[in-house]
Structure 1
Amino acid sequence: MSVVSWREESELGTWTQLVWRPSPLAGLVESISLFEGKLRRRRERYYPTGELDLIVQFDASSEPYRIVEGQPAAPFPPLSLAGLIVAPVVVEAPVATSRVLGVRLRPAGAFSLFGVPLRALTGNTLDLHDVIGSEARRLGERLEEAGTDEARLRLMGRWIADRLAGRPRTDPCVAYAVSEIERAGGRVPIADILGRLGASPKRFTRLFEEQVGVKPKLFSRIVRFRELAGALRAGADSLRHTALAHGYYDQSHMNAEFREFAGMSPGQFLAATPFPESLSLAD
């Protein structure tokens, strides 16, 4: 088990974080992480990335994380499942020190893990008890009782692997389409993929939305925007050249995507402070 650990002390706050990317779950689970610390910049802005999140808050009864923008304002349940987002969401952290375990799930992993149509989760954050019943309580208790944080990561990895065993996987046509969209950075025409598959557009779109959470064209846009945001954060060339390189008609087209997905202009995005090892921004 190769766990990456680091400590952050900056204007954003002070915390330690463990991150594990289990290779046996590659393609299904992006990462399993554990955060412990306190944020000074308590509001965190998330934009669509094409992934889902399973979140476990320890000691959440005292002060939970809260959604404050982008979805109905509400506290996160102690164990929650956040579906794909298609618009920016702002989350506010507790004032006090907090401990949170998070699992970043690819759509294929979430579909197999929970066995529910992912379109029902899109744009929503649900109590995990409403998705898997009493198993959520047992999982929470086992995580609380684990002796160390690394043990909690391992326990979560085993729980996911055990639950996935023998469960239905993503339809091969959907899995191929997702792979091609990801490979091309969201810049492959869906009609081309349908042509290769010989699939009925109506049936394929319905199946894709059920097993991924959004329709193919929107998923492609989200993947393209995620790639664009990553390139800009890495110090890409001019906005115009970056827009064209990522398949936008022009800079105005890119600006419109920024307003829809991030709730800000590209310039505001570049001026914002990113959280380290994260696709979120201090708000």
Structure 2
Amino acid sequence: MIYSLYRPKAPLDTFVDSFWVTDSYVAQAPRERVLPSGTQDLIVHLGESPVRIYADEHSTEATDAPGVIVSGPRSSPLVIGTALGATVGVQFKPGGAYPFFGVPAHSLAEQTVALEALWGAPARALRERMMETSAPLERVQLLEEHLLRRLRRSSERGAALRVALDAFEEPDLTSVAEVNRRTGLSPKRLLALFREEVGLSPKTFWRVRRFRAALRDLEHGTLRGAALAAEHGYFDQAHFLREFRSLSGSNPSEFLAARVTGTDHVSVYG
């Protein structure tokens, strides 16, 4: 697999973390778990065969996804088939997808949705234009131009959401109540804001982002065991292991053995 990553330019860099492009994908296993990030992704699949999505890694039945899909914010792994062709994608920043899709983010949570259901015919036209070129950068530019046209001029993150999102990335944050205090929002208002623009509750979002931060340290080999748990605010190592299995479907050793390098995918064998 050739995997290319592109960083967005302003003003999209406020909302988009990265654009990525792959050629035909030759996987190590017939299925993979895509680990939750608390963010949304837009995926344009350019191959002839559909993307297969499974209810879980043991399911024998799959749903065939259309050529362009939105993967909503998740707190559990997404299990996909790996017989994929060329693919172009957008990884949004937390809450960054909200201005582009015209629906509350919570309506997409834990789901994969056809982009055509949100954008109509332009979603199909976008894929067709991408299929007319094989140049990765040109495909990214087409997607970037389309997002720019979709971006409403009034689309700016409110100060309270920015403060809250930054707070949830801090390893020493101790409670959601602390985020309420920093933003000046009541628990009810913070919950409503996160459901509308992020798609997960503040507590669930915090769980996922803490897991992702721990995952980075685990991958880099900088911390292990109790030290890793303590660094990221878990009560103890047992608490960390429970959360890790809940959010990834495996323990840390299994994850390291089956991870797909350069992605947030884990191979599923058997």
Give the secondary structure class of the aligned counterpart of 1:98: coil
User: Which amino acid in the other structure matches residue 275 of structure 1?
Assistant: V
Farther off after superposition, 139-148 or 84-93: 139-148
180, 193, 197: which one aligns with 2:179: 193
Structure (1 or 2) with the greater strand fraction: 1
Tell me the residue number matched to 1:163: 150
Report the RMSD for the aligned CA atoms in angstroms: 2.0
Tell me the residue number matched to 2:79: 90
Does residue 231 of the first structure (1) align with residue 220 of the second (2)? no
C-alpha displacement of 1:228: 0.7
Name structure 2 gaps, 5 residues minimum: none
Tell me the residue number matched to 1:43: 31
Aligned length: 263
37, 43, 50: which one aligns with 1:64: 50
Cα pair 1:45 1:91 within 8 Å, conserved: yes
Alpha-carbon distance in structure 1 between the residues aligned to 2:156 and 2:147: 14
How has the CA–CA distance of structure 1 residues 179 and 115 changed in structure 2, closer, same or farther, with 3 Å as cutoff? farther
Tell me the residue number matched to 1:74: 63
Alpha-carbon distance in structure 2 between the residues aligned to 1:231 and 1:167: 37
Does residue 29 of the first structure (1) align with residue 16 of the second (2)? yes
Give the secondary structure class of the aligned counterpart of 2:21: strand
Alpha-carbon distance in structure 1 between the residues aligned to 2:5 and 2:108: 25
User: Which amino acid in the other structure matches residue 181 of structure 2?
Assistant: G
Alpha-carbon distance in structure 2 between the residues aligned to 1:193 and 1:40: 41
Cα pair 1:118 1:209 within 8 Å, conserved: yes
Does residue 280 of the first structure (1) align with residue 265 of the second (2)? yes
C-alpha displacement of 1:45: 1.4
Which stretches of structure 1, 4 residues or longer, exceed 6 Å deviation after superposition? none
Q: TM-score, normalised by structure 2?
A: 0.90
C-alpha displacement of 1:92: 0.9
Alpha-carbon distance in structure 1 between the residues aligned to 2:157 and 2:103: 12
C-alpha displacement of 1:84: 1.0
C-alpha displacement of 1:279: 1.6
Cα pair 2:16 2:91 within 8 Å, conserved: yes
Alpha-carbon distance in structure 2 between the residues aligned to 1:212 and 1:105: 11
251, 255, 260: which one aligns with 1:265: 251
Identity of matched residues, %: 32
Farther off after superposition, 17-26 or 257-266: 17-26
91, 96, 115: which one aligns with 1:109: 96
C-alpha displacement of 1:165: 3.8
C-alpha displacement of 1:164: 0.9
